[in-house]
Amino acid sequence: MARSAIINVMVQAAMKAGRSLARDFGEVQNLQVSLKGPGDYVSQADRKAEDIIFAELSKARPGYGFLMEERGAVEGEDSQHRWIVDPLDGTTNFLHGIPVFSISIALERQGQIVAAVVYNPAMDELYTSERGGGTFLNDRRLRVSGRTKLVDAVIGCGVPHLGRGHHGNFLLELRNVMGEVAGVRRLGSAALDLAYVAAGRMDGFWETALSPWDVAAGILLVREAGGFVSDGKGGQDMLEGGSIVAGNELIHKALLKTLKKPVTPR
């Protein structure tokens, strides 16, 4: 499969950071970690990976701006382009030795996400997507699942934890969803959740209280695999609003409806 120049640049940055993360993952016990907030650990590996991605992308496309989890916003001379990067999505998994984490890189052009790479170095799974060009896992073209009913669907979600998210709201949403679906999963990397929806492994996904770098790349992966993505209200404020609902057309619609249902005692 021939990749475009911009996807090559992004893949190279993700793979280089991925090699660094994979080495550190092997030595996860020895990593020094600092406590950023309750339950939210940031490791040296995370910062190293971000530095690698920042250096690679700055070298390849000088002038583009950045929005990165550790650095925050970095203005570029080119106001049309911005990289949105999570160097390690799934930090809690990483620190616990669970091989479900990823690097997420999106390119925004004039406010629109036009290219995306999500890479899980532990499984060597590389998801790439370019606007209008489809989504690929390694070299295989992806398509969202064909299931049409929630009753057959496996749905991914995020579970709020100590110091994060609205626990009461989540319990209401979960109660609605769990009564209507075949299974609920919590992977622990929002970027991979969306990649799994793109790959048809999960039929849908919802989460709230996310940051732009968690979802920017994944949104394009799902759309270019034929799926639908919105915020929790059905609008398009996923990056700033922090909520997201994804799936194929029918599951996305059904999930939105189910999440909003008033809870009836059962």
Nearest CA to 88 out of 179, 188, 160, 184 is that of 188
- Does 89 interact with ligand IPD (rule: CB under 6 A)? yes
Q: What residue ranges in the chain does DSSP mark as E strands?
A: 33-37, 40-43, 64-68, 72-74, 78-89, 102-109, 112-120, 125-130, 135-137, 140-141, 154-157, 183-185, 204-207, 228-230, 244-247
Interface map 4-43 toward ligand IPD (x if CB under 6 A): ------------------------------------x---
- Does 56 interact with ligand IPD (rule: CB under 6 A)? no
Q: Which is nearer to ligand IPD, 69 or 203 (CB)?
A: 69
CB of 243 to ligand IPD, least distance (A): 11
- In eight-state DSSP terms, residue 151 is G
Stretch that binds Ca ion, among 115-123, 171-179, 214-222, 241-249 (CB under 5 A): 214-222
Stretch that binds ligand IPD, among 10-18, 119-127, 186-194, 237-245 (CB under 6 A): 186-194
Residue choice 50, 130, 203, 214 for contact with ligand IPD (CB under 6 A)? 214
Q: How far apart are CA 163 and CA 37, in angstroms?
A: 8
Site residues for Ca ion, window 84-113 (CB under 5 A)?
A: 86, 88-89
Residue choice 173, 207, 214, 231 for contact with Ca ion (CB under 5 A)? 214
Q: How far apart are CA 195 and CA 223, in angstroms?
A: 10
Tokens of 130: 């370019």
By DSSP bridging, strand 40-43 and strand 64-68 are unpaired
Contact indicator for 222, 197 with CB cutoff of 8 Å: yes
Residue of this chain nearest to Ca ion (CB atom):
89
Chain positions contacting ligand IPD, by CB under 6 A? 40, 86, 88-91, 158, 188-190, 207, 210, 214
